[in-house]
Amino acid sequence: MTFKTPLRWSDVTPQHLYLNRRQIIAAAGAALLATPALAKSKYSTDDAPNTFEEISGYNNYYEFGTGKEDPAANASMLKTDPWTVKVDGMVDNPGDYALGDLIAGLPIEERIYRFRCVEAWSMIIPWQGFQLSGLLDKIGVQPSAKYVAFETLVRPEEMPGQKMGILEWPYREGLRLDEAMHPLTIIATGLYDKPLPNQNGAPIRLVTPWKYGFKGVKAIVRISLTDQMPQTTWNMMAANEYGFFANVNPEVDHPRWSQASERRIGAGLFAGRQDTLKFNGYGDEVASLYAGMDLAQNY
């Protein structure tokens, strides 16, 4: 059988079915990043979470601007599909991974975590994600590795804050390997049964709940294993204000303000400040990681 004119997809698949198929494929991809109705993790706090609107509308994310509302206003232009993550350094399985391939098989759960910003405000956030340790096991950490380094996306045409000389791009962060392997440390892929909003770090971001929020590198495109302490953006910018470890410690003031108390976002205009908890309340789980360390020097 021959055709007098080139065969078109519309001759085989009706347009409404073709479009519906694309929607199904897109939905399947989103399901990899946020699974609805997950049980609360044993690591979750009992505190009531902030609303989705509060969490997605008040952010520090300098790639989209310095104002707290800038990320929500500007992040919609960021394209997160397709997404590739480079894995390199002291690993057994280096390479450039499509996100779906990288996280396939890693169990996603809900974790309601306290979130503490170095600027002395806080939230309770129902993250959805997987333990970073599972990903590290998957890529194969070599015995000589001591640190995990992360880098965020550089795409100034979609991230307007990168057009300004605020920071040196890409945004960099890092953890000591034992911190990265701790079961509290997760890679978040969603919140409130939704894929992670762009302004909160889509499609994947780091969450270490006992550390200040600037440690939570967003829009991760590179994960490197190294035997040297990696450079981190805010420590490079102002080492006297932002230490590598970034553990929440009310006993160590920021040079320009106290860290002894915090303001809970959404608590109301007349709500009082509350005392800051050391290690953000996760001391029972993580204090042993820093046994023998001077946490005023290693801040």
Indicate if the pLDDT at residue 258 is higher than 70.
yes
As a whole number, mean pLDDT of residues 157-186 equals 97
Dihedral angle sign, alpha carbons of residues 182, 220, 207, 254: positive
What residues make up the domain containing 181? 9-290
For 126, other C-beta atoms within 10 Å of its C-beta total 20
296 in a structural domain: no
218 assigned to some structural domain = yes
Q: What are phi and psi of 191, to 5 degrees?
A: -155, 150
User: Between the CA of residue 103 and those of 33, 108, 172, what are the distances in Å?
Assistant: 9, 9, 21
The continuous run of DSSP H or E covering 116 comes out as: strand 109-116
Q: Is residue 2 assigned to a domain?
A: no
Using 50, 70 and 90 to split pLDDT, how confident is the model at 32? low
| Position 107 pLDDT exceeds 50 | yes
Of residues 228 and 165, which shows the higher confidence score?
A: 228
Mean pLDDT of all residues in 117-145: 98
Top pLDDT among 292 and 269 is at 292
Other CB atoms within 10 Å distance of the CB of residue 44: 18
Question: Which pLDDT value is given to residue 37?
Answer: 60
| Residue 203: CATH number of its domain | 3.90.420.10
pLDDT of residue 40: 73
- Residue 298 within a domain: no
16 — pLDDT class (breaks 50, 70, 90): very low
Confidence category of residue 17, pLDDT binned at 50, 70, 90: very low
For residue 136, pLDDT over 90 is answered with yes
Question: Is position 299 within any domain?
Answer: no
Q: Is 52 left (phi over 0), alpha (psi -120 to 50) or beta?
A: alpha
Determine, yes or no, domain membership for 76. yes
Cβ–Cβ < 8 Å for 45, 54: no
pTM recorded for the entire structure: 0.88
Residues 207-217: pLDDT tens digits?
A: 999 999 999 99
